[in-house]
Amino acid sequence: MTSPANHAFTHALGCYDEVVCYEDIETVPSQAPIVSIDMSGNGAVLARVHAHFGDHLRYSMAIGRSHHDAPPRAEGLPGPRPAFFFAPTQVKKRLQDWGPRGYQERTASALRQFVAASRPWLTVVRSNGADAATSIWREVHAGHVTPSTGHVVSMWD
């Protein structure tokens, strides 16, 4: 699920079976088991997901808050309580599961695959200095940066 503004981009990535806009949540069949991984942090959208899928929602994870101006997640949602993803905790778990060498190998392999897969659609824009960092942060925060643009900002001029 994504916003109408990002629907075409997300669909064009070719890595999802289906892409649905937030306003169309209720068009997704609610009888199959489903998992929710929430990157937006939009409490109203998450509440609709939980209400629509109810007991068919098998897991709910909160990762981000890209919709920083949306209402936060409500308590007491139907279905599973959203679990918060915290990267350092996951890294610690994977180090225990795979060992340091296994972790490094798997992480490096996944990163190589992601970089290769993103080359056709990702434009990396490099900038330098505090003024650039401030300006770019404001643009990203305001939602004015396309999903195909990745900013790398160095604080050194």
- As a whole-number percent, the residues of the chain with pLDDT over 90 amount to 69
26 band by pLDDT with thresholds 50, 70 and 90: very high
Q: How would you label 84-102 residue by residue, b for 16+ Cβ within 10 Å and e otherwise?
A: eeeeeeeeeeeeeeeeeee
**pTM, two decimal places:** 0.77
35 band by pLDDT with thresholds 50, 70 and 90: very high
